[in-house]
């Protein structure tokens, strides 16, 4: 099963799309006192409302807008005399059409009816998301702390919502409320995602909180001066923005998160799934850069036509046809040294033709879907740096965060994930009430859940966690890149990960047997 598949019906558009569909999108202008020669109720060429796709207006914004918003692009298509009656957004296919019986199957035969058309790569004029905004700096800092303490790169999934971006006509913003870090293997210069058995449950939690997976984030950071906290500027004009491998990964994620669209015969067109890269900027500080890959790139990735080049990360390579797979010709337009436009076969292919950049920002006034605590709960899948999610860390968290408002204590995305997924007492069947309380910011509902039998049991489990002996005081503390391990004769409970002395046959915390 596809753990990343969207839950919405293929023909039901997202809520933000339904909202923008109802807006006229016009750019209204005030009467110009010097140029307008008419009365207050009149309109002329200097003050008449502009269409949302007006290029002169977009080019004169600060900064200029290089890409139309997707809904402005749709208005442009549907703005003719027929009002878009015959507009259909076709998804590109690189595969041989099935059902052609006039010849033997490939590689013995192919005809013009079933043969996919050649593709000429163009820089996409529109984008499905116009802005990425992290609700507050704490979200990004918690994610970056892994690299700061281990030196290893990190991947996370962005959970949030799509809202209206009012700086651009009919624009869409991806707002990030939390980052979930899946199981992975990271080194200083590589990342590998592992299978995540918790992915469906995390998706369910986010859905009940009114959130969805809106993108992914990864780091490419190299420390320059640890005393100053600076990082190297490695993604520049002399290197690459995104590597071909990263573009392929982004295309794969976008293909798994389709953008539902009423104008497409398939019910979907493109994707709103975004890519965020945390890397060094020109000022040697950490910068967050947002991207998507084009719909053409999505098609090449979906149909397994695009490969990375081993020795040149900025170049991709379109496969050649084999007896097992037919691959259409893919071209891109370039300029030679004399300024003449020439058409090149995409072997190799500069990936800049596939990339769409998206402004990534933080708000002046921070927003908090989840409460920001000076002592946050542990992040899942960080055992390599001594950060574990168990009842010992929960007991510590509760002792450090004592508030008369239970909603503030429980409003931590990583804590909610732990409560639902822990092996000792998973609360998947009884979390709807507290998730609804967090979603609606309702303290009264949170207090009702606090009085439940399930929370009483959680508190009892936390109360049975003994303090660690003095000899283990450093266990779990992050003094370097690797935590100090316990003595070899201690054993980890396979149910709750608590460290037990060798004389115990049952876990001191959860009372479950050692074997």
356 part of a folded domain: yes
The string of DSSP letters for 1-15 reads: --TT---S-TT---H
Nearest to 114 by CA among 124, 125, 105: 105
- If asked whether residues 445 and 301 sit together in one domain, one would say no
- What distance lies between CA 386 and its chain's CA centroid? 26
Asked if residue 395 belongs to a domain, the reply is yes
Residue 265 included in any domain: yes
Q: Looking at the domain assignment, is residue 274 inside a domain?
A: yes
Which residues have a Cβ under 8 Å from the Cβ of 274 and sit 6 or more positions away? Answer: 129, 132, 158, 174, 214, 215, 216, 290, 291, 292, 358
For residue 357, give its domain range: 120-361
211 within domain boundaries: yes
pTM of the model: 0.86
- Residue 480: phi and psi, rounded to 5, are -155, -155
As a whole number of angstroms, the distance between CA 252 and CA 266 comes to: 18
Do 389 and 287 belong together in one domain?
A: no
- Cα 219 to the center of its chain, rounded Å: 13
The answer to whether residues 140 and 148 touch, using CB atoms and an 8 Å cutoff, is: no
In a domain, 208, yes or no: yes
Name 260's Cβ contacts closer than 8 Å, sequence gap at least 6. 6, 8, 9, 10, 11, 12, 13, 14, 17, 267, 268
Same domain for 397 and 282, yes or no, is no
What's the sign of the alpha-carbon dihedral 193, 199, 205, 209? positive
Q: Are 343 and 441 in a shared domain?
A: no
Claim to verify: residue 317 and residue 232 sit in the same structural domain: yes
Do 333 and 456 sit in the same domain of this protein? no
349 shares its domain with 390: no
184 lies in some domain: yes
Could you tell me how many helices (H) and strands (E) the chain has, helices first?
Answer: 13, 23
> What is the full per-residue pLDDT of the chain (515 aa) written as tens digits?
343 344 444 478 999 999 999 998 899 988 888 888 888 888 888 888 999 999 888 988 888 888 999 999 999 998 766 666 668 899 999 999 887 887 888 888 888 888 899 999 998 999 999 999 999 999 999 999 999 999 999 999 999 999 999 999 999 999 999 999 999 999 999 999 999 999 999 999 999 999 999 999 999 999 998 888 899 999 987 888 999 999 999 999 999 999 999 999 999 999 999 999 999 999 999 999 999 999 999 999 999 999 999 889 999 999 999 999 999 999 998 877 788 888 999 999 999 999 999 999 999 999 999 998 889 999 999 999 989 999 999 999 999 988 889 999 999 999 999 999 998 888 888 899 999 999 999 999 999 999 999 999 998 888 765 544 433 333 333 333 344 444 556 777 766 666 776 667 777 666 667 76
* Number of domain units in the chain: 3
CATH number at residue 208: 3.40.140.10
Nearest to 53 by CA among 37, 29, 71, 31: 71
Q: What is the DSSP letter of 169?
A: T
Does 443 share its domain with 409? yes
388 and 300 fall within a common domain: no
Verify that 457 and 495 share a domain, yes or no: no
Tokens encoding 267: 């019910």
Mean pLDDT of all residues belonging to the chain: 88
Q: Are 296 and 355 in contact (CB under 8 A)?
A: no
Q: Is residue 86 a part of any domain in this protein?
A: no
Predicted confidence at residue 79, as pLDDT, reads 79
**Using omega within 30 degrees of 0 as the cis cutoff, is the peptide bond preceding 193 cis?**
no
Based on the fold, state whether residues 451 and 418 are members of the same structural domain. yes
Q: Are residues 279 and 185 in the same domain?
A: yes
Q: How many CB atoms lie within 10 A of CB 59?
A: 10
């Amino acid at each position: 099963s596809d753990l990343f598949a969207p839950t919405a019906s293929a023909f039901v558009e997202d809520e933000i799309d339904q909202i923008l569909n109802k807006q006229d999108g016009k750019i209204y202008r005030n009467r110009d006192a010097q140029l307008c020669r008419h009365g207050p109720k009149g309109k002329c060429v200097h003050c008449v409302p502009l269409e949302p796709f007006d290029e002169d207006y977009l080019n004169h914004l600060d900064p200029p807008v290089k890409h139309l918003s997707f809904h402005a692009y749709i208005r442009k298509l549907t703005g003719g005399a027929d009002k878009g009656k015959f507009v259909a957004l076709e998804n590109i296919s690189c595969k041989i059409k099935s059902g052609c019986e006039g010849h033997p199957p490939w590689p013995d035969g192919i005809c013009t009816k079933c043969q996919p058309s050649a593709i000429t790569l163009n820089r996409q004029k529109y984008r499905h998301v116009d802005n990425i905004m992290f609700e507050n700096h704490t979200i990004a800092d918690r994610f970056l702390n892994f690299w700061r303490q281990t030196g290893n790169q990190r991947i996370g999934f962005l959970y949030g919502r799509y809202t209206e971006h009012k700086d651009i006509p009919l624009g869409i913003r991806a707002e990030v409320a939390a980052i979930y870090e899946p199981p992975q293997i990271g080194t200083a210069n590589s990342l590998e995602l592992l299978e995540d058995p918790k992915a469906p449950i995390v998706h369910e939690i986010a859905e009940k909180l009114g959130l969805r997976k809106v993108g992914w984030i990864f780091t490419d950071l190299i420390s320059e001066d640890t005393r100053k906290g600076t990082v190297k500027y490695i993604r520049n004009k002399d290197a690459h923005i995104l590597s071909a491998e990263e573009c392929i990964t982004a295309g794969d994620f976008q293909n798994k998160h389709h953008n539902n669209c009423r104008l497409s015969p398939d019910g979907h067109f493109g994707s709103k799934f975004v890519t965020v890269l945390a890397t060094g900027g020109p000022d040697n500080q950490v910068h967050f850069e947002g991207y998507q890959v084009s719909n053409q790139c999505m098609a090449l990735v979906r149909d397994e036509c695009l490969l990375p080049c081993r020795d040149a990360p900025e170049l991709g390579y379109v496969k050649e046809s084999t007896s097992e797979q037919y691959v259409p010709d893919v071209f891109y337009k370039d300029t030679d040294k004399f300024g003449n436009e020439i058409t090149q076969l995409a072997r190799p292919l500069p990936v800049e033709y596939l990339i769409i950049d998206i402004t990534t920002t933080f708000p002046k006034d921070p927003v908090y879907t989840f409460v920001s605590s000076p002592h946050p709960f542990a992040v899942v899948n960080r055992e390599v740096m001594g950060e574990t999610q168990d009842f010992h860390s929960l007991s510590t968290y509760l002792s450090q965060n004592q508030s008369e408002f239970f909603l503030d204590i429980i409003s931590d995305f990583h804590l909610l994930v732990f409560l639902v997924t822990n092996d000792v007492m998973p609360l998947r069947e009884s979390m709807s009430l507290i998730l609804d309380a967090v979603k609606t910011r309702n303290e009264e509902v949170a207090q009702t859940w606090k009085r439940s039998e399930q929370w009483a049991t959680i508190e009892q489990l936390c109360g049975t966690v003994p303090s660690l002996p003095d000899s283990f005081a450093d266990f779990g503390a992050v003094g370097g890149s690797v935590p100090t391990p316990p003595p070899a004769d201690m054993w980890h409970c396979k149910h709750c990960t608590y460290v037990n002395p060798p004389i115990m046959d049952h876990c001191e915390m959860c009372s479950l047997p050692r074997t």
